[in-house]
Structure 1
C-alpha cells in the first residue's frame, strides 16, 4: 500500500453523476475527491442526450452560456411510424423556450466542461487512472472510504495502490459498480427483450437540419434509431437480446444489408461500416437496488438504477440524483453531523422518479420494442395515437416527461452563480442548509 489520504467525500466514478456531485459539493466548501479509472473521457457511443432539466440546471449554476458553446445538435420531437403514417407523440416545440429541446452533446465534452468548472473550486480534486477497488470500514462497521488502484495511462499496467479515508463514500461507478458489489447490494433485474449495437454513418452537407427528430424504423424483427450529430449519424440497431454471436457470424455484408433495408436513404454509405468491429454492443439492462445507502455509503446513478436507452433519460436521471444528494448532504458534511437519515432522504426524494421512468421504459419495451424483436408488428397504443393525432396539445405531456421527467431538481442556493438567463442568482456565499 503506497499511501493513505483523507477527504470529506470520496466519489468513485467520473461520469455525469460523480462529476456533478463533486462540483456541487465543492461549491459548498466540502472537500471532495473524484476517482476516475480512465485517463480521459473519450469513450464513444455513450449516452449523449442532455435534456431540458439539465440545461436549466446548468443555467442556474451559471454555466449555461458555456454549455451552449459546446459542439451540439438539437432534437426537436419524437415520432412513431404507424400503419397510416407517422404520428408525433412528443413535440418539444410546445415547451417554453429556452428549454424546448434535447441537446446532443458528446459526453466527453460535457464531462470536460463540468470538470473545468469544478476545478475553479479549491475543494475539488479529480484523480484520473485511479479506480476504487474496495470499501474501508471503521471499528463500528461504518464505511470509511475506499481502497484504490492506479494504472499507467498508456500501458494500463498497475502503478500503485492506496487508501482514501472519507466521512462519506459515494458510488457513482456505473451499472457494473464495484463498490455496490463490495457492499453486498444486489439489484433487482427487470426483463429487457433487446440489445443495442451502436455505430455511426457520415452526414452530407445538404442533410444538416437545425432541429432533428427521432423516428424509429422497423423491418421484420429489426429496429433502427438514428440520432443526428453535427457531422454524422449516431445509430442504434436494436434486435433480440443474445443475438450478438449470430449477428457477427453473419458478417459485415449481411449487417450492411439490414441497415440499408431499414434506412434506404443511407444505403449509399453503409460501406463506411468497415467490419463488425465497428459495432459497439450495449448489453441493455434495467434494474435498481432497493436500498441506496449504508452507513457512510451512498449509491447514485447507474450504480443505484441502470436504465434502458429507451427515452435517453439515463444521464439526466443520474444528474438529478446528484443535485438531490448535494442539497441534502452538503450542510451535514460541513457540520460533521452526516448520518444515515440524510442518505435515506436522498433515496426517498429520487425513488419516485426512478420507478416512474423505469415503468415507462418497461411499457415501451413491451408495446414497441419487444413486439418487434419477437417478429410481431410494432404497435403504439391505439388511444394514444388517436389523441396525439387529433389533440395536438396532448403532445406536450410526453415532451414534458422526456424533457424534465418527474420531480426535476433545481440547483441548491449555495451552488448558484449569475448565469445566462439571470436565474442563476448567487446566495451570497452562505453555508448550505440540509434539505428536508
Structure 2
C-alpha cells in the first residue's frame, strides 16, 4: 500500500481522492458507519469551490441542494449590520455554499471510488501505528470483525482534533485558548421565517442561526466550560435567552425538551509545531484545530489536502522514498495560512465574543454597513472567501 489515511472528514477524503486520481494506491479509513453526523461545519467557501471546479466536480456539487450566501451579516438589538460582501471577488465563485457536510463527503468519496486504486473502509477505527525503528510503516485498526493492520509507505492522520494517531506519534499540539463553547440544537423552521444565516448578538448573549430549509440549526455561545452550570440551572436557562434573541422562535422553544436534545462543541484552537515523523503526516484538524469563527475549518483542511497531494503524489505513485524533509516542506507551506487564520480568529474571539459574553461589547457603535468601507471589504472577502495562500490542483489525472 502506498498511502493509508485515517479519518474520512474533508481533509482525509479530499487527499484520498486526489491521490487516487493521480494513480496512487490509497486506503481511507472512517471509524463511523456513515457520514451522517449533525452539527458539523457546512460552509464551502470559494477556495474549495475552485478546487472542485479544477477536479471537474463543481457541476455535480451544485446539483446537491444548497443555499448560497453572498455575504455575512450580524443581527443586533438595533438592527442588521452587513459585515462583508463576497460579490466582486476574483475567480468564478463569489459566494459561500451551505451544504450538509455528509453530502460533501459523499460526493468526494464517490468520485474517489471511480479510480481503481481507492479503497474506503467504514466502521474502521485506527488506534495505533506500525513502526520500524523511528519510521512509521502503517497503522492498526479495528472493525466489527476484529483487529487488523495496513502497511503503507505513508500514513496520514486526518482523524480530527482529538487525533489518536497524532497521540501515538508523540505529537502534542500547542493550545491557544478560546473563551467560549457552543451548544448546538435544532428547531423547526416556518416559511415565514427569515431566509438567511446570521450571527445574533446582544448584551451578554450570542448565537448563530443557520437556515436548513425545514429547520434551523442553532448555535448558542456560552462561556468556556460553562455547560455544567447551564445544566444545573435547568432547561429554561437555555430556552429563555434563545427566545429573547430570536422572539419569532418563541412558539417552538418548548421543543427543546431537555439537555438531551442538544450537543456541545468544546471549542479549541491549537496547532502542532511539528506535523510529521518519518513515514507519518498530520493534516487538517489533526494538525491545527480551528475556531468556528468565519467557518473556515473545512476549507483549511481541503487546502492542506491539495498541497499534500501536489507535493507527494509523484513520489507515492513511483514508489520513491519520501524523506521527512519533504513532509516538512508541506508543513512549512501550510503553517503560514494556519498561523494567520488562527491569529485572526483569536482577535475576533477576544475583541468581540469574550466581551459580548461579559456584556462589554456594544455593537450599536459599529457602522450599519461595513461593506461600504472598500479596503476593509476587500480584505474581508479575500480572507473569508479564499484565505491565505489558496491551493490549486497541480497533479494531473493518471
Q: TM-score scaled to structure 1, two decimals?
A: 0.87
The partner residue of 1:133 within 118, 121, 127 is 127
The partner residue of 1:395 within 351, 364, 377 is 377
How far does the alpha carbon of each residue in 1:265-314 deviate from its partner, in whole angstroms, 9 at most, with x for none?
22222122222111110000000000111110000000000011111111
Q: What SS does structure 2 have at the residue aligned with 1:268?
A: coil
Asked whether the equivalents of residues 87 and 389 of structure 1 are also in contact (C-alpha less than 8 Å), the reply is no
Task: Identify the residue that residue 135 of structure 2 maps to in structure 1.
Answer: 142
Q: In the TM superposition, what are the counterparts of 1:7-406 in structure 2 within 5 Å? A: 7-80=1-74, 85-96=79-90, 98-138=92-132, 140-151=133-144, 159-207=145-193, 209=195, 212-214=196-198, 216-335=199-318, 336-378=320-362, 385=367, 388=370, 390-392=372-374, 394-406=376-388
Structure 1 gaps, min length 5? 1-6, 152-158, 416-428, 430-436
1:319–1:387 Cα change, 3 Å? same
1:56–1:332 Cα change, 3 Å? same
- Taking the aligned partners of 1:381 and 1:408, their CA distance within structure 2 comes to 34
- Taking the aligned partners of 2:78 and 2:394, their CA distance within structure 1 comes to 47
Q: CA deviation at 1:103?
A: 0.9
- Taking the aligned partners of 1:170 and 1:397, their CA distance within structure 2 comes to 33
Q: What SS does structure 2 have at the residue aligned with 1:80?
A: strand
Asked whether the equivalents of residues 207 and 220 of structure 2 are also in contact (C-alpha less than 8 Å), the reply is yes
- Taking the aligned partners of 2:255 and 2:88, their CA distance within structure 1 comes to 37
Task: Identify the residue that residue 391 of structure 2 maps to in structure 1.
Answer: 409
- Taking the aligned partners of 1:222 and 1:61, their CA distance within structure 2 comes to 42
Asked whether the equivalents of residues 82 and 369 of structure 2 are also in contact (C-alpha less than 8 Å), the reply is no
Q: CA deviation at 1:358?
A: 0.1
Q: What SS does structure 1 have at the residue aligned with 2:31?
A: coil
Q: Tell me the number of residue pairs that the alignment of Structure 1 and Structure 2 aligns.
A: 397
Asked whether the equivalents of residues 198 and 282 of structure 1 are also in contact (C-alpha less than 8 Å), the reply is yes
Q: What SS does structure 2 have at the residue aligned with 1:251?
A: coil
Q: TM-score scaled to structure 2, two decimals?
A: 0.95
Q: CA deviation at 1:83?
A: 8.3
